[in-house]
């Protein structure tokens, strides 16, 4: 294996792994983890997600007779993530400015693997350890959604997938994805506009009434995409809108979703036109609601938070907890009965070509994982 965590991180980010193309990095990780003494296998999640390999599951047996502890990170990156050329600039690692760096989430992967490497080399007795490296996190947390949870014996764990080293995210919202179709009626815009129902106009009228942006401290709503119409001389008969609602409260999530549906239906019901046979044609709305992910909230005095804070104190890191605004693999693990908090790795400015990580943070994150394993094994 590589000589330092920096070299190891370099080797990982140089393997292209945009979402659903994780096979190359997964095979390298399988090799490294096996060499460190793990039993490694892949599930079949990719048969559902359309990727080229499944989620990686690794089990390290331990001499301390306890339930295992779980660490998780995702193998895929966002775009542009092909041909990443990492470089060291003073105290940090960056890309060459044409791609992302991939510290989201390869810093997490490197820290987990490196901590285990150091633990196995130092002969410290530890509890069994489980690792899940997921696929397709960045495209709707699909890997963890389709993970074979029967493989996992841990009751709790950490997803290394946020910013400041040691900082904990202990809650995240639920999300509803809305696909909205507004149907009007086509007509020649110059010759007989009165025979048409303009779907763009109806959609616009409804959207003006939508509750958008931050609704309260727990709830947000956004329209992210709209498409419709064919040409300026045709009254458009069709508009497609994509929107989302997020909330830490299930009740508010349903309320805002319902509000959007009612606004659309009420607006559409105001518009009708007679066709050539004298039949009344009404504007119509179809709404397809899908649950994107399920919220979770861990308690401040949960064992998992206490454990993380013990490690933080030991490494002189601040003991902060916060509630996140987005969905991640942790949502799916928590939904499947495995308590999971999200912890920082030092990744910065992720999803941009300015992404970077401080070398000291990359190293500190591995020490954090090591410390958590040690403390847990002695608890």
Please say if 76 is a catalytic residue: yes
From the CB of 229, what's the least distance to Zn ion, in Å?
36
Among 104, 130, 329, 361, binds Zn ion (CB under 5 A): 104
The region of 75-83, 157-165, 175-183, 220-228 touching Zn ion under the rule CB under 5 A is 157-165
In angstroms, give the least distance from the CB of 62 to Zn ion.
27
Dmax over CA atoms of the chain, in Å, equals 85
The DSSP call for residue 59 is: E
Do strands 69-74 and 156-165 pair parallel, antiparallel, or not at all (unpaired)?
parallel
**What is the smallest separation between the CB atom of 63 and Zn ion, expressed in angstroms?**
33
Is 117 buried (19+), middle (13-18) or exposed (0-12) by CB count in 10 A? buried
For Zn ion, which is the closer residue by CB, 163 or 374? 163
Q: How far is the C-alpha of 184 from the C-alpha of 149, rounded, in Å?
A: 45
- Select from 153-161, 177-185, 216-224, 230-238 the region that touches Zn ion (CB under 5 A): 153-161
What CA–CA distance (Å, rounded) separates 327 from 346?
A: 19
Which 8-state DSSP code applies to residue 194?
A: G
Residues in the chain: 379
Stretch that binds Zn ion, among 156-164, 212-220, 243-251, 311-319 (CB under 5 A): 156-164
Q: State in angstroms the smallest separation of the CB of 76 from Zn ion.
A: 9
Q: Are strands 168-172 and 156-165 parallel, antiparallel or unpaired?
A: unpaired
Q: How far apart are CA 73 and CA 82, in angstroms?
A: 20
- Stretch of residues binding Zn ion (CB under 5 A), selected from 99-107, 184-192, 235-243, 281-289: 99-107
Helix (H) or strand (E) holding 11: helix 5-13
Q: In this structure, are strands 156-165 and 339-344 parallel, antiparallel, or unpaired?
A: parallel
User: How far apart are alpha carbons 295 and 33 in whole angstroms?
Assistant: 32
- Told to judge if 265 belongs to the known catalytic residues of this protein, a careful annotator would answer no
User: Minimal CA–CA distance to 105: which of 68, 140, 142, 135?
Assistant: 135
Which one is catalytic: 22, 105, 137, 164? 137
Taking the least distance from each CB to Zn ion, the nearer of 161 and 218 is 161
Of 161 and 164, CB closest to Zn ion: 161
Token pair belonging to 171: 């809650």
Among 32, 76, 105, 175, binds Zn ion (CB under 5 A): 105
Does 355 bind Zn ion (CB under 5 A)? Our answer is: no
Closer of 257 and 331 to Zn ion (Cβ): 331
Smallest distance, Å, CB 74 to Zn ion? Answer: 6
Distance CA 19, CA 143 (A): 10
Check binding of 161 to Zn ion (CB under 5 A).
Answer: yes
Copy the structure tokens of residue 111: 């820290």
Q: Which stretch binds Zn ion (CB under 5 A): 4-12, 100-108, 202-210, 269-277?
A: 100-108
- As measured in angstroms, the least distance from the Cβ of 272 to Zn ion is 48
Catalytic residue (choose from 76, 130, 138, 361): 76
Nearer to Zn ion, 104 or 218 (CB): 104
C-alpha to C-alpha distance for 91 and 111, rounded to whole angstroms = 18
Q: Tell me, by CB under 5 A, how many residues bind Zn ion.
A: 3
Q: Which is nearer to Zn ion, 143 or 196 (CB)?
A: 143
Residue numbers of the site for Zn ion (CB under 5 A)? 104-105, 161
Q: Annotated catalytic sites, by residue?
A: 76, 137
């Amino acid at each position: 294996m590589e000589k330092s965590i920096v070299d190891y991180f370099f080797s990982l980010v140089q393997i292209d792994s945009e979402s659903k193309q994780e096979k190359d990095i997964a095979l390298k990780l399988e090799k490294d983890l096996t060499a460190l003494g793990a039993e490694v296998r892949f599930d079949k999640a990719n048969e559902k997600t359309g990727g080229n390999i499944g989620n990686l599951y690794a089990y390290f047996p331990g001499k301390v007779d306890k339930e295992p502890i779980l660490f998780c990170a995702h193998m895929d990156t966002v775009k542009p993530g092909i041909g990443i050329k990492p470089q060291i600039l003073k105290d940090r690692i960056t890309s060459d400015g044409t791609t992302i760096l991939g510290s989201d989430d390869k810093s997490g992967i490197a820290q987990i693997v490196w901590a285990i490497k150091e633990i196995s080399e130092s002969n410290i007795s530890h509890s069994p350890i489980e690792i899940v490296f997921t696929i397709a996190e960045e495209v709707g947390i699909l890997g963890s959604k389709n993970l074979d949870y029967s493989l996992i014996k841990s009751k709790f764990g950490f997803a290394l997938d946020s910013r400041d080293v040691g900082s904990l995210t202990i809650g995240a919202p639920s999300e509803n994805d809305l696909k909205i179709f507004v149907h009007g009626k086509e007509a020649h815009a110059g010759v007989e506009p009165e025979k048409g129902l303009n779907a763009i106009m109806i959609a616009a009228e409804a959207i003006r009434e939508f509750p958008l942006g931050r609704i309260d401290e727990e709830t947000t709503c956004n329209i992210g995409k709209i498409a419709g119409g064919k040409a300026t001389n045709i009254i458009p008969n069709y508009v497609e809108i994509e929107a989302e609602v997020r909330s830490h409260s299930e009740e508010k999530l349903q309320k805002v979703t319902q509000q959007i549906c009612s606004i659309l239906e009420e607006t559409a019901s105001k518009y009708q036109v007679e066709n050539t046979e004298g039949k009344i044609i009404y504007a119509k709305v179809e709404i397809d609601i899908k649950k994107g992910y399920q919220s979770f909230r861990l308690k401040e005095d949960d064992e998992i938070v206490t454990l993380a804070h013990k490690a933080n104190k030991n490494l002189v890191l601040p003991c902060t907890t916060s509630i996140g605004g987005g969905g991640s693999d942790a949502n799916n693990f928590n939904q499947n009965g495995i308590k999971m908090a999200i912890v920082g790795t030092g990744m910065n400015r992720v999803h941009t070509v300015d992404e970077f990580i401080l070398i000291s943070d990359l190293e500190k994150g591995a020490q954090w994982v090591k410390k958590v394993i040690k403390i847990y094994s002695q608890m």
